[in-house]
Amino acid sequence: MTTTLDPQAWARAQARALALAETAMPEIPRRLAFAATLVEAGSVEHRGQFGQQDYQVHNPDGTACTVHARNPTTCTCAEWRAQASEKGYACTHLLAVRLYTRAQEILHQEDCAPQEPEDAWPPEAAEAEQPPLLPPSVCPEAMFSVCLRGTMRGWDTQLTVRGQTQAEFLANFQAVQDMLDRAAGVHEARAGAPPEAQSSTATAPTPDGWCLKHGTQMKLQQGKDGSQWWSHKIGDTWCKGK
C-alpha cells in the first residue's frame, strides 16, 4: 500500500531522526550519513507480514538486503555477517531501517499534535514569523574600559569602569569617580590631622592617555622625529588633555 506523504514534513522528520542518531552515536558519522541517504532516496521498503518487522533495503548498485528488525536483529548483507559477533553492532542497512522507523514516529507525533485553526496563522504571518528575541548577550570585552585608583573612606581602592557605549561609559566613570575621595576634600578633612596621617592619603592618578577635561580616552600620537604625545580631536581642534 502506498501512502502519500507531505514531502516537506517527511524531510523534516528524516532530519530530526538523523540528528537524534548523531547525538546518540557520534562515533559513526559516515555510516549514519550513508544510511540517511538510503532513507532519503526511498530505498527502505517495509515488508512486514503477520506482525513481523521485516524491511528490504535497496543498495545503489541494484542489489537489495533484507533486515529483520526484531529480537534478534539480523541482516542478509555481508557487512552484518562479518560483524554480527560484535555486541550491539548495526550494519548500514539496519541503521537505515532505524532512521526510517524513527522518522515515521516523529512524523506521526507531528500529525497527532494539536493544530491551530487555519485562519489563526495566515501565510504572510507565517513567513514573517521570527524566533523569539533573546536578551542581548553581554559583550565579554567592554567597548570602553579604564581602571581608577584612589581611596575610599581612607582605604586604597582600585575600581574598574566599563561601558558598551561612550555615553554609558562616561556616566559610569562619573559615578565611580564620585565614589573616590577627592584629593581636595581629603586634605580639607584631614587639615588638623598629624603630618603622617596626611601623607598616607592616596589620590586617584590619571590613567595614561585619559583626558580629564573631556572625560575620554586619547590616542598616542607619533611624530616624525620620534616624539610621542596623547591627544584627541574635538570638532576641528585637537586637545592634549590640558
Q: What is the pLDDT of residues 25-78, one digit of tens each?
A: 999 899 899 999 999 999 999 876 645 678 999 999 999 999 887 777 889 999
Which residues contact residue 186 at a Cβ distance below 8 angstroms, ignoring those fewer than 6 apart? 151, 201, 203
pLDDT over threshold 80, residue 134: no
Residue 42 CB neighbours (<10 A): 10
SS3 assignment, position 13: helix
pTM over 0.75: no
For residue 24, with 0-12 CB atoms within 10 Å meaning exposed, 13-18 middle and 19 or more buried, which class applies? exposed
- Give the residue with greater pLDDT, 24 vs 226: 24
> Rounded CA gap, 19 and 32, in Å?
10
